[in-house]
A and B are shown apart, each in its own frame.
Chain A
Amino acid sequence: MRNVVKRLFKGWLTILAGSMLLIVLSGCNIIKDPKSLMETPQLTSDKESLISVINAEIKGAQKIRPRDVNDISSIRTIDLNNDGIMEAIVFYETPDEAVRIHGLILEYVNGTWSAKTTFDGEGQVLETFALRDITGDGRPNIIAGFSSGEEDAQKGLIVYTYDGEEINKLLSLPYYDFLLDDLNQDDKLDLTVITLKRDQNAVVTTYQYDETFKELDHIELDDPIKEYYNAVSGNITPDLKGIVLDASFGSHYAYSHMLVMQEGKWVNLLPSQDSTFKNYPVFSGDVNNDGMLEVGRSEKPKGWEDKPYDDLPLFSYYQWDADSGLKFVLQQYMDPEGRFYFSLPVEWRDTVTIDPKSDANEHLWFTRLDNGAVVAEIRFFSLSEWERNKEDWELLSRENNSVIGFLSHTDVKLNKGEKEIKRTGSTN
């Protein structure tokens, strides 16, 4: 018995000593700050190797992202020359060299990325970076916009093509804005470039690629303005395509051009600026998702005729009708400070207005024109007031220290699912 215990003792002692050793050896640094153990997630090995190849290739230069809200990624992978092999394109900058911006093409062969060629960009800043097949040969083109980085400088647009060996410039143009669309409906993309001479005029020119880039048509716009804050292309009528340009002037006034391409020629549908005048920079576009572009306007609610023009506007959207011109589509109330929006039912168009006693920061009454009956209210509540009233009122929006509620006196429901008509909508 004693011997057994002794032997056991020996065995246990070994284990004990081993454990103590383990504690002593590893105990010191075992408890770490969890934050120090965080790591950026890994990319897939393909991507990881692509990035490491690029980093090796550009030798410490900085990869650059385009200043383009549509896609700010700096590395794009696509089959550039339509040979079934993926290529990667990346722009990088070398601030100390004469040519600041460079492009790098890599090819993915047998599981590894290898640099194929580099090419030079222009200017200081990469404005946009798109990959579209504009030549119609099945090979995506690199469409890149460069600028000097200064506010009002003309930007430069370059279209590159890649044949598997080297990069060639197909087109190099100054531009203010450009649109890629098939405006003449020949099933090939065309390029519409807007150039703007500040406070003088603007030219809209459309190019079609056929061996080289050829001008289809251009139209001169007599716009002594500083900027087009919005340019969209799409269907103007069910048959015809065109563009809408929103121009701003003065402090916050704006108007729109509606251009349509008929048989390869530009037609200006609204030569007069009055019909699209707005006191807010309303964004035109396909606001109701019916595939046709609407042009936005601001309107005074009825009963507000003697008030300043920029008090409490309603925003209305119109489509072009080939027979009758501009046609009303829908109307929206938007908070001047952007806190909420409210789409007015279509049947309110000529029957309901905003009561003139309304205050945009406190209380809005929507009243019938014929008998003045209130059909709906929008009101700002403090948080404590809201607690008392939230039974009856629908929540419209919540701010830091106030709540905006909606109260309907008819069967009009607050439809949050309804798309906000963008006062500041994007071009896409």
Chain B
Amino acid sequence: MIKKGIGRQIVMHYFIVVFVTLFMVEIIFSLAIRVYYYDTVYNHMYTHSTWTSDYFQKFGRISSDRDPGYFTEMLQTFELDNTELMILSRNGDVLASSNALQADKAVQTSDVSQAVSGSVGKWIGRQPSTGEMVMAVSMPLMERGENRFVVRFVTSLERINANLMKMTLLSIGVCLAVLALVTLFSIGLANSIVKPINNIRAVSAHMAKGRFDIRIRGKYPYELGELAETLNYMAKEIVRSNQIKDDFISSISHELRTPLTGIKGWSETLTIGGFDPEETRLGIGIISKETDRLIGLVEEMLDFSKLQQNEMKLVITRVNLKELLQETMLNVWAKAEQKGIQIKLEDETEQPVTVMGDGNRLKQVFLNLVDNAIKFSHENSWIHLVVSLKGDNRVLVQVVDSGIGISEEHLNKVKDRFFQVNHQGGGTGLGLAITQQLVELHHGDIDLQSELGVGTTVLVELPLAEPEEETGEEPLASTEGESIHE
């Protein structure tokens, strides 16, 4: 049949649903038709017996006794085609019957006892003598205010049952035909779902083997379309991140080579140059500077790998953020002065701002940001550090510059590892990635707003520290009196 898979499953589901539905409908239909047939027969006998007994009680003979024609007339009155008519006594003895023979024994079925108790009785069962399925309807016949006789009609249900059987078989046949039809339909429907899935599966299998250059073609509806798009996007991203990694390796090699070239050159020069003290001092100075640059580079990478592997340990204390920013400004003062850049702290709060965090790491964050701002600012421009409080106990620090700005297409990528807008600028491209991770470790958010040629604003949001309790320990990174009392 159909090979294993979603297609078969869908067809099976259709099949099961339709089968169960049809099965139930079939059962209900069979029962209903049976009830209809039986009820019609019952009603036929019931109405006949009702009106005849009514008639007989009104206009028939008054008494059975000493009236030799009583039962004969009764049989004539009550006679109903295709039934056996019996007149029974209260204890079920057959007093008269439309068949010519003497009855063998008393009738003891439930319809008779019901009739004796005064209501119309109905019984469906097998005749004890012949085993034939029959329906019997018994009716009490009143004589002088008393149930004296029971009029019993018996009809055979064999032909009705045979007809019911025929109808049931036929309806089963129809149901099977419908089932077959629906199954055919479901195969078609299943194909419409299975084909795209198979397509996508085949392409993704290629992708798994490393072929990221192929794409899923064709338009698919709904979830399948989304799935195809996602797979295509994923392949594209894999290609891109590979590219970034390659760029990184080339740039880091370059970064490492530049100081190493300097160190090697100078050490050779010094060795050859006969150790002139003036020259030696200059050379050693340069070697030391280049070594510092190498150490800085390696430390940055160490930080990054620590962050990557979640091994960065923070020493959490209370940190006075404004003090920290002022220290940061002092640290970059010299560098800013060189480019003639003015750095200014704009305090929009009225009380000290304290956050929980690692003072050194936070300082690294802001140093990095301000350093970046200086790097990308024009000479004789300005940089503003804006501190403000936001709702729900958060503080917002904005580093605003009027530098070169970042184009929209790069804005989303600057936080990525190894990304550099301009590879000639030097650096690893890890700075902002590290910064972001550090801010996130402090449960903060970092965001970038920028316009090319106008300037960049970096927004850092950090949660405020819980107000210190009066008896609490003195925070390590804040001086007395500056702790927050709210």
Contact = CB atoms under 8 A, between A and B. Distances in A.
Partners in one complex: yes
B132 interface: yes
A32 interface: yes
Given A69-B70, A73-B100, A30 B3 contact: no
Interface string B175-192: 011001101100100010
A399 B132 CA distance: 38
B27 interface: no
Contacts of B100: 51, 63, 65, 73-75, 90
B41 A35 contact: yes
A40 B66 contact: no
A425 B143 CA distance: 13
A44 B101 CA distance: 11
B101 A75 contact: yes
Interface string A224-261: 00000110000000000000000000000000000000
A90 B211 CA distance: 104
Contact of B68 (A33, A69, A75): A69
B170 A22 contact: yes
Given A15-B177, A37-B160, A9 B41 contact: no
Contacts, number: 164
Nearest to B173: A19
A109 interface: no
B40 A34 contact: yes
Contacts of A42: 127, 130, 132, 156
A1 interface: yes
A30 B170 contact: yes
A19 B172 CA distance: 10
Which of B2, B102, B155, B166 has the most C-beta atoms of chain A within 10 angstroms of its own C-beta? B102
Contacts of B69: 67
A208 B2 CA distance: 96
Contacts of B223: none
B64 A426 contact: yes
A42 to B, nearest CB: 5
A424 B63 contact: yes
A214 interface: no
Contacts of A229: 66
B298 interface: no
Contacts of B146: 397, 420
Interface in A366-416: 396-399, 404
A340 interface: yes
A98 interface: no
B159 interface: yes
Interface in A29-53: 30-35, 37-44, 47, 50-51
Interface residues of B, number: 61
A12 B100 CA distance: 56
B173 A23 contact: yes
B170 A26 contact: yes
B156 A41 contact: yes
A35 B2 CA distance: 49
A5 B187 contact: yes
Contacts of A396: 145
Given A68-B68, A422-B65, A34 B102 contact: no
A35 B44 contact: yes
B443 to A, nearest CB: 55
B240 to A, nearest CB: 38
Contact of A27 (B101, B170, B177): B170
A71 B70 contact: no
Given A4-B1, A5-B187, A72 B154 contact: no
B36 interface: yes
Contact of A34 (B41, B144, B177, B187): B41
Given A63-B100, A338-B145, A283 B160 contact: no
A198 to B, nearest CB: 17
Contacts of A75: 100-102
Given A15-B176, A71-B102, A427 B66 contact: yes
Contacts of A404: 145
B167 interface: yes
A76 B82 CA distance: 23
B37 interface: yes
Contact of A19 (B37, B154, B176): B176
Contact of B183 (A12, A26, A90, A399): A12
A400 B93 CA distance: 28
A80 to B, nearest CB: 14
B67 A69 contact: yes
B40 A35 contact: yes
A67 B41 contact: no
A4 B72 CA distance: 74
Contact of A47 (B65, B70, B101): B101
Given A8-B184, A16-B177, A63-B100, A41 B134 contact: yes
A30 B166 contact: yes
Contact of B41 (A22, A38, A50): A38
A4 B2 contact: yes
A168 interface: no
A32 B163 contact: yes
Contacts of B167: 30-31
A59 to B, nearest CB: 16
Nearest to A145: B68
Nearest to A45: B130
B174 interface: yes
Interface in B100-154: 100-103, 127, 129-130, 132, 134, 144-146, 154
Contacts of B40: 33-35
B154 to A, nearest CB: 5
B101 A43 contact: yes
Given A15-B180, A16-B181, A420-B146, A39 B82 contact: yes
Contact of A425 (B65, B102, B144, B181): B65
A77 interface: yes
Contacts of B65: 69, 283, 422, 424-426
Contact of B177 (A20, A50, A73, A425): A20
A339 interface: yes
B212 interface: no
Interface string B287-331: 000000000000000000000000000000000000000000000
A230 B163 CA distance: 53
A127 interface: yes
Contacts of B99: 43, 47
Contacts of A35: 40-41, 44
A244 B193 CA distance: 100
Contacts of A15: 176-177, 180
Contacts of A230: 66
Contacts of A90: 100
Given A39-B156, A43-B99, A66-B68, 16 more contacts: A1-B3, A5-B2, A8-B184, A23-B174, A41-B130, A44-B129, A50-B101, A51-B101, A69-B65, A69-B68, A69-B70, A73-B101, A397-B145, A398-B145, A424-B66, A425-B65
The list of the 5 closest CB pairs from A to B, nearest first, reads A67-B68, A397-B145, A19-B177, A338-B144, A39-B156
